[in-house]
């Protein structure tokens, strides 16, 4: 009988795990978020350091907000993201990447969106790996997370949750104006007035195009909870590592048209393994897509017929 030491077995097991990881990466499977770090303390203790690390690594902080007391979200852009945003008529959604600091029990989690995953979902062909590497350098990268199984670029380009639910190219068409300038001014006015509980978190103008991406906070309270950031996340964001960087929602102005990603796409692409029914499911927020559309339309100066 051949005896194999426990050390050899451990090394062999590690090699097998490493090879399996390489196979997964080779397949191009991705998840929507990265866990950068965990620590103790408070959310407020981490904000300044996170922002400093981001700006030191070439990112511009364009906005931030706290959708609920246990979370703070920072939105960033850089030249690569802005350039990618101009690559097709609806690529503007890629311009802002979201970084979240969330208190979960005694743990503070720093997380952020995976720009390569989001780029594939938004049909952006630009190589966004340099953006991903810059975020990893600035904040760290313990693991990708989200669904148990990742999605590859082809999955994401044609993504929809299930039959009858919207794709990327089926957005809310919120309102149309006579010009780009008029459209942007109307959105700015509505957000400044916090119309329908919607307010501005950030604005990014896409260079060389008549296109502007707005990030918005949505606060409905009990009277209109189905469009409320805190309520929606309380229902769908329940795993040990939170997906707070799903927020904020977006409004995109392109030329004279104002649109937003349909909630049944926007939520599903960030939570592709969310159950249809049961606890913490789409069923619990079934009125949210209509409530979000109505709130965003009113904030942009339009209405839902």
Q: Are 206 and 85 in contact (CB under 8 A)?
A: yes
**Does residue 171 sit within a domain?**
yes
* For residue 10, pLDDT beyond 60: no
pTM (predicted TM-score)? 0.90
**Does residue 16 sit within a domain?**
no
**Does residue 109 sit within a domain?**
yes
Q: Are 251 and 302 in contact (CB under 8 A)?
A: no
pLDDT of residue 19: 36
Mean pLDDT score, 174-188: 98
40-75 residue pLDDT tens: 999 999 999 999 999 999 999 999 999 999 999 999
Give the tokens for residue 166.
């919207």
Q: What are phi and psi of 99, to 5 degrees?
A: -120, 130
Q: Give percent above pLDDT 70 in the chain.
A: 91
What CATH number is attached to the domain comprising 210? 3.30.310.70
The candidate with the shortest Cα–Cα distance to 210, out of 63, 95, 86, 96, is 86
Mean pLDDT score, 252-268: 98
Which run of H or E residues covers position 198? Answer: strand 198-205
**Does residue 96 sit within a domain?**
yes
Number of DSSP helices (H) and strands (E) in the chain, helices first: 10, 11
Sheet with 143-145, edge to edge strand ranges: 60-68, 71-77, 97-104, 107-113, 33-39, 143-145
**Does residue 7 sit within a domain?**
no
pLDDT of residue 221: 87
Domain range for 161 is 30-299
Residue 157: Cβ-neighbour burial (10 angstroms; 0-12, 13-18, 19+): middle
13-47 residue pLDDT tens: 333 333 333 333 334 899 999 999 999 999 999 99
* Sign (positive or negative) of CA dihedral 48, 101, 21, 4: positive
Query: What band does 6 get if pLDDT is binned at 50, 70 and 90?
Result: very low
Query: For residues 24 and 60, what is the distance between their CA atoms, to the nearest angstrom?
Result: 32
**Does residue 50 sit within a domain?**
yes
Domain count, the chain: 1
* For residue 106, pLDDT beyond 90: yes
Which run of H or E residues covers position 173? Answer: strand 172-176
Give the tokens for residue 216.
């918005």
- Kindly report the average pLDDT of the chain as a whole number: 91
**Does residue 191 sit within a domain?**
yes
**Does residue 173 sit within a domain?**
yes
């Amino acid at each position: 009988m051949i005896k194999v030491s426990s050390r050899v077995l451990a090394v062999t097991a590690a090699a097998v795990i490493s090879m399996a990881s390489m196979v997964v990466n080779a397949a191009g499977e991705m998840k929507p978020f990265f866990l950068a770090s965990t620590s103790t303390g408070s959310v407020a203790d981490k904000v300044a350091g996170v922002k400093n690390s981001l700006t030191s690594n070439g990112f511009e902080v364009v906005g931030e907000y706290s959708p609920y007391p246990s979370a703070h979200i920072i939105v960033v852009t850089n030249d690569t993201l802005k350039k990618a945003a101009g690559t097709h008529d609806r690529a503007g959604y890629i311009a802002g990447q979201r970084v979240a600091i969330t208190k979960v029990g005694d743990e503070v989690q720093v997380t952020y969106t995976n720009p390569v995953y989001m780029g594939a979902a938004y049909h952006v062909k630009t190589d966004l790996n340099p953006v991903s590497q810059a975020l990893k350098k600035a904040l760290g990268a313990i693991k990708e997370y989200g669904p148990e199984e990742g999605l590859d670029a082809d999955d994401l380009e044609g993504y929809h949750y299930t039959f009858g639910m919207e794709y990327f190219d089926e957005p809310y068409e919120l309102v149309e104006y006579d010009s780009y300038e008029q459209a942007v001014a109307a959105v700015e006015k509505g957000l400044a007035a916090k119309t329908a509980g919607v307010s501005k978190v950030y604005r990014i103008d896409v260079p060389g195009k008549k296109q502007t991406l707005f990030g918005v906070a949505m606060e409905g309270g009990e009277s209109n909870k189905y469009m409320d950031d805190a309520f929606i996340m309380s229902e769908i964001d329940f795993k040990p590592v939170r997906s707070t960087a799903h927020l904020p929602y977006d409004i995109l102005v392109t030329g004279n048209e104002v649109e937003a990603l349909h909630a049944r796409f926007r939520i599903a692409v960030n939570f592709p393994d969310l159950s249809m029914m049961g606890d913490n499911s789409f069923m619990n927020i079934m009125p949210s897509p209509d409530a979000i559309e109505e709130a965003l339309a009113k904030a942009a100066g339009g209405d839902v017929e």
